[in-house]
Structure 1
Amino acid sequence: MPRRRDLADQRRRLSAATWSVLAERGLPGLTLRAVAERAGCTTGMVLHTFADKQALLVHARELLHRRTGQRADAASADADSPRAALRAVLWQAASPTEEKREEARVWVGFLAAALADPVLADLHRAYNRRFLDRVGGLVAEVRPDWPPADCADTAISLVAVVEGLNALAAVDPQTYSEESQRVAVDAALTRLGRGSDGES
């Protein structure tokens, strides 16, 4: 038992170090050595947890998905209507603050890497589809009168808006400011019209 607990603590420490390196140096700076230095351990210890650089990248991508998923869960749980839950989930995926833009830069780095890495590409598709399913489910709650195909199409449009804002705000936060992102998200939501909750 102690050994299992030690391994779990080690993985948590390396996960924290991985995210810290990613946030500071981006994907190109994520190396086994950099993670080891940040965690205050040897590269051998990192390799004991992650077999190679690919395993480290996969873990880092999973970390990003977990962070955004937890925020989406919290955002929808605090909402008082289906439309408010949908708006909150979309807004937590946008990049209005420096902390969120930092996360967006990491996401863009993974997207770029996925173009040449089939493993990361598979992960990106899987996680994006989970987000689409989440948004599509919320759209269906707002518009239970719509057929599933319309809900799915609307989810794609809404996700495209927030992911586009993420990518653009990562390099041009002046143009894609918090206010402009808010306006864009609210404008995208007008496509739903007046839903079952009476809101529009």
Structure 2
Amino acid sequence: MARRRDLADQQQRLSAATWSVLAARGLPGLTLRAVAERAGCTTGMVLHTFADKQALLVHARELLHWRTGQRADVAQAAAGTPRAALRAVLLQAASPTEEKREEARVWVGFLAAALADPVLADLHRSYNRRFVDRIAALVAAACPDWPSADCAAAATSLVALVEGLNVLAAVDPATYSDEAQHSAIDTALARLDAPL
């Protein structure tokens, strides 16, 4: 039992180190050596957990998806109505705070890397489609009379809006401030013609 706990602790430590390196150095700075230094271990220990840099990148992308998904789950559960749940999840996906802009910068790095890496591209598509599906289900709950095709189209538009805000806020937080992001999301939601 202790061995499993040790492995879990090691993975958690390496996950935290991976995220710390990504946040500080971006995707180009994510190396096995940098993660080992940040975790206070050897590259051999990193390689014991991750076979190579590709495995480390996949893990980091999965970690990003898990982190954002956990926050969306909490936001959705705390909302009182379907429309409020939709708004809460969209706002949670936006990047109005420095921590969220940091995540957005990491996400943009993964998106850029996915253009040349089929494994990362598959992961990106899979996670993005899950997000679109989640938003489509929330739109359907908020607009129960809508056909599923309209819910899917609205979800695609809302996800594109939020992801665009993320990218732009990552490099221009003054223009794409918290207020500007909230306003853009609320304006898009007002077009749904569903009661709050």
Same fold (TM over 0.5): yes
CA distance in 2, matches of 1:184, 1:167: 14
CA distance in 2, matches of 1:191, 1:138: 15
CA distance in 1, matches of 2:103, 2:4: 31
CA distance in 2, matches of 1:108, 1:79: 28
CA distance in 1, matches of 2:178, 2:89: 16
CA distance in 2, matches of 1:69, 1:191: 25
> What corresponds to 2:153 in structure 1?
153
CA distance in 1, matches of 2:129, 2:102: 23
Residue 112 of structure 2 is aligned to residue 115 of structure 1: no
> Over residues 141-169 of structure 1, what are the superposed CA-to-partner deviations in whole Å (9 max), with x where a residue is unaligned?
01110000000000000000000000001
Q: What TM-score do the two structures reach when normalised by structure 1?
A: 0.97
> Unaligned 5+ residue runs, structure 1?
none
> Unaligned 5+ residue runs, structure 2?
none
CA distance in 2, matches of 1:4, 1:180: 46
* Residues paired across the two proteins, number: 196
> What corresponds to 1:96 in structure 2?
96
> Over residues 100-127 of structure 1, what are the superposed CA-to-partner deviations in whole Å (9 max), with x where a residue is unaligned?
1011000000000000000000000000
> What corresponds to 1:71 in structure 2?
71
User: Matched residue of 2:46: which SS?
Assistant: helix
CA distance in 1, matches of 2:6, 2:165: 41
- Deviation beyond 2 Å, 4+ runs, structure 1: none
RMSD of aligned residue pairs (Cα, Å) = 0.6
> What corresponds to 2:86 in structure 1?
86
Instruction: Give the residue type in structure 2 aligned to 1:22.
Output: L
> Over residues 140-198 of structure 1, what are the superposed CA-to-partner deviations in whole Å (9 max), with x where a residue is unaligned?
001110000000000000000000000001001111111111110001111210x2xx3
- Residue identity (%): 81
CA distance in 1, matches of 2:140, 2:25: 40
> What corresponds to 2:167 in structure 1?
167
> What corresponds to 1:46 in structure 2?
46
> What corresponds to 1:58 in structure 2?
58
